[in-house]
Amino acid sequence: MLISTSVLLLSAVSPTMATDITPVSLATRPHIVTLVGAPYDWNLQRMSIVSGQKLADSTANCNTATIETNSGGKTDQVHDCGFD
Partner 1 sequence: MFVELCSERAQPVFRFNIDLWAQYRFAWTHEGFAFHDPAGRSVTSDSLTAVLWRRPSLRDCPDWDGGSPDDRAATEAELHTLVRELADWARAHGLLRLIEPGGPRRVGRLLQMRIARDFFAVPEWGAGWGLRWPPGRRMVKRLTTEALGEQRDRYIFVQSVETDRLSPDWPWLVQEIAFGSRDATVLYVRGRCFGFEMQRTRAELGVEDWRIRNGAHKDAWRAWSMPEGLAGRIDVYMTRLGLQFGRLDFITGDEGTAFLEVNPNGQFGWLDTPGGWPLHRAVVDAALDPASTIRGNEVAREIDEPREMGPVGFDLG
Contact 48, 54 (CB under 8 A): no
Q: Is 6 in the site for partner 1 (CB under 8 A)?
A: no
- Residues 24-63, interacting with partner 1 (CB under 8 A): 24, 26-33, 35, 37, 40, 42-50, 53-55, 58-63
Nearest to 62 by CA among 75, 76, 79: 79
Query: Minimum distance between the CB of residue 18 and partner 1, rounded to whole angstroms?
Result: 10
Nearest to 66 by CA among 81, 82, 77, 58: 77
Q: Is 77 in the site for partner 1 (CB under 8 A)?
A: no
Rounded to an integer, what distance in angstroms lies between the CA atom of residue 20 and that of residue 58? 45
Size of the site for partner 1 (CB under 8 A): 60
Contact 58, 41 (CB under 8 A): no
Interacting residues toward partner 1 by CB under 8 A? 1-3, 5, 8-9, 11-14, 16, 19-24, 26-33, 35, 37, 40, 42-50, 53-55, 58-65, 67, 69-72, 76, 78, 80-84
